[in-house]
Amino acid sequence: MSSDIHVRAQQLIAKLHVEGASPEEQSRLAAHLSECEVCSSFEAQTAKALAAFRCMHVEVPQNLAARTQLRVRLRAEELPVRDGSSALLWSIAAVSWLLGLASAPLVWRGFAWLGGEFRLPDLVWQAGVILWWLVPGLVAVGAVVMQKRRVEQAGE
């Protein structure tokens, strides 16, 4: 028999003892164990070791979980806050402005056409072009600044 069959049998033994196996897997394993002395010995040793672990009594202090949570919380407060989302927001703001610059001629012509169709003063539709370009980036920068203030306030 190849070593792959033995490796698969050992994996099935572990699976059977830890999480359980399907009836089909159990029957395949039983057939292999009846023919293979090495895997049968491995299964017996595994069962014996797990039984020994189940019989062990480990005494743990009653407040161990609470103490551990407290230590983790204290350590988390000591660590510096590393927030990568502000870099993402700065990137979004930069891309927004770059796309605004790239699309500026098209947007300019579109606003000029709308201004002509609705007989708006030139100053109105030109202000619309400027706002179309500035507002998304300003919103993203505002989000970055607000997030930075929240992080600084949380650190105080």
Handedness of CA 100, 105, 108, 114 (dihedral sign): negative
Considering the domain architecture, whether residues 89 and 151 belong to the same structural domain is answered as yes
Checking if the pLDDT of 156 tops 90, the result is no
Residues 93, 141, single domain; the answer is yes
Q: For residue 146, what pLDDT is reported?
A: 86
Domain-located, residue 72:
no
Is the same domain home to 95 and 45?
no
The pLDDT value given to residue 34: 92
Query: 46 and 107: one domain?
Result: no
Share of the chain above pLDDT 90, in %: 19
Q: Judge whether residue 1 has pLDDT over 50.
A: no
Which band of pLDDT confidence, cut at 50, 70 and 90, is reported for residue 123? very high
Q: Does residue 98 lie in a domain region?
A: yes
30-67: per-residue pLDDT in tens? Answer: 998 899 999 999 999 988 988 888 888 778 788 888 88
Q: Flag whether 77 is in a domain.
A: no
CB 13 within 8 A of CB 42: yes
Which range of residues forms the domain containing residue 125? Answer: 85-155
- The total number of structural domains in the chain stands at 2
> Could you tell me if residue 101 is inside a domain?
yes
Of 14, 34, 55, the last residue of a domain is 55
Residue 80 has pLDDT above 90, yes or no: no
Q: Is residue 100 part of a domain?
A: yes
Which one-letter DSSP state was computed for residue 81?
P
The whole-model pTM stands at 0.38
In a domain, 38, yes or no: yes
Residues 6+ apart with CB under 8 A from 114: 120, 125, 128
Confidence at residue 121, expressed as pLDDT on a 0 to 100 scale: 93
Write phi, then psi, for 84 (nearest 5 degrees).
Answer: -80, -10
Residues 49 and 98 in one domain: no
Both 45 and 90 in one domain: the answer is no
- Cα(76)–Cα(39) distance, integer angstroms: 47
Flag whether 113 is in a domain. Answer: yes
pLDDT tens-digit readout, 88-116:
777 877 887 788 788 888 988 999 999 99
Asked if the structure places residue 137 within a domain, the reply is yes
12 burial via Cβ count (<10 Å: 0-12, 13-18, 19+) = buried
